[in-house]
Amino acid sequence: MSNFDSGIISDLHKDAYGFRPSPEFSILWELSSDEQKQEIWDDLIATLERNIDAEEAAERKAAEA
In angstroms, rounded to a whole number, what is the distance separating the alpha carbons of residues 19 and 5? 18
**Alpha-helix runs per DSSP H in the chain:** 6-17, 23-31, 34-64
Q: With bands split at pLDDT 50, 70 and 90, how would you rate the model's confidence at 2?
A: low
Q: With bands split at pLDDT 50, 70 and 90, how would you rate the model's confidence at 6?
A: confident
Residue among 8, 1, 6, 7 at smallest CA distance from 30: 6
Residue-wise pLDDT tens digits, 32-56? 999 999 999 999 999 999 999 999 9
**Exposure of 13 by Cβ count < 10 A (0-12 exposed, 13-18 middle, 19+ buried)?**
buried
Looking at residues 5-13, what average pLDDT do you find? 92
